Amino acid sequence: MVPDRLDTDSTTANAPNAASAAFGRVITAMVTPFDHAGRLDERGTERLAAWLTRDGWNDSVVVNGTTGESISTTDREKSRAIRAAKLGAAAHGGKVIAGVGAGSTAHSIKLAKEAASSGADGLLVVAPYYSCPGQAGLLKHLLAVADATKLPVMIYDIPKRTGIAIETETVLAAARHPRILAVKEAKGDLEGATEVMGQTHLAYYSGDDALNLPWLSVGATGFVSVVGHVVGDQLTQLVQHHVHGRNAEALALHRHLMPLFRGMFWAPGAASAKAALGDLGLPGGPVRLPLVDLTEGQRRELRHVLAGTVTEMGAPADPARVPTGWLPAEAAVGRVGR
């Protein structure tokens, strides 16, 4: 049975208390629902945040991240989305983490202050994209945004999108800031993260769903997930299996979810997540350009994967019933980076 909220008090060796308290362990990078005309759907945002943070699912949601199409929303829409998500998540004790990524430090600081005023519980701070600053400038950027509010901060390291990696020495230096508590890591550097976790208080969160279990094995606290839109309960169970030493069960669940980890990224994650939510009758709506919605063929392929992994769509609740070697033919298709 999936617990209402993860047991973090008994797992301090793997989950630094401050980060677990601030962010939780299972987090979904939430889409931004739009209506059929492409306008922000605030009621849908509230409803989706409530659904994602219901008992046994996600501890928190990230709003205005990459999956939330932050590149395509205005600053005013970002504030409205935070307020709406906060109303929904608060119904179940969930939290809202606001993405405040921007190309300049001044804009990130502005977004951070507006997020705090809109009720966000924490900040997700990505490296400035496109400008590719050096590590000295990158560190100053992270510290300046962390100084801008009193909210806890999770650094986001995803060089395939920003053009620059946050090097281990920079993370070690940033860890000295009292409000920088965690790192969302999406470059697969388990070696560097192990060094950081061994020397600092920082908690690590997997930023690549296919590596969720490997990240737990080296001491990560949890995940910032895209597939959590549809299998948040199973991600919660994955953490519980790991926490309680049920390694065989954790591996079986990881293998059960692998087709979804792949299928959700055959197209950009925001488009795939919105298509999956639509099939479940949940808010999502269209994506905004430059993204495009899934074609009917892509939707059929994704539905095939959802039917094998998502309990609401008829998948077996017990992954032990799924042959561990099973993968759909489409699994050979390469993933699109989130």
Residue whose structure tokens are 């009758």: 281
> Is the omega angle on the peptide bond into residue 268 within 30 degrees of 0, that is, cis?
no
Write out the two tokens for 116. 């705090």
The catalytic position among 78, 86, 156, 274 is 156
Cα(107)–Cα(104) distance, rounded to whole angstroms?
Answer: 5
Which residues on adjacent β-strands are paired with residue 159? none
Query: Does 184 participate in catalysis according to the annotation?
Result: yes
Cα(248)–Cα(244) distance, rounded to whole angstroms?
Answer: 11
Q: Which of 228, 225, 166 lies closest to 193 in space, CA to CA? A: 166
Instruction: Output DSSP code: residue 38.
Output: S
Q: Which of 194, 111, 187, 94 lies closest to 145 in space, CA to CA? A: 111
Q: Which residues contact 55 (CB under 8 A, 6 or more apart)?
A: 4, 5, 92
Helix, strand and coil percent figures for the chain, each rounded to 5? 50, 10, 40
Q: Which of 156, 201, 193, 179 lies closest to 16 in space, CA to CA? A: 201
Cα(13)–Cα(93) distance, rounded to whole angstroms?
Answer: 24
Check: CB of residue 151 under 8 Å from CB of residue 116. yes
Annotated binding residues for pyruvate, as ranges? 67, 224
The catalytic position among 184, 204, 205, 274 is 184
- Return the half-sphere exposure (C-beta side, CA atoms, 13 A cut-off) of residue 238: 33
The catalytic residues are 156, 184
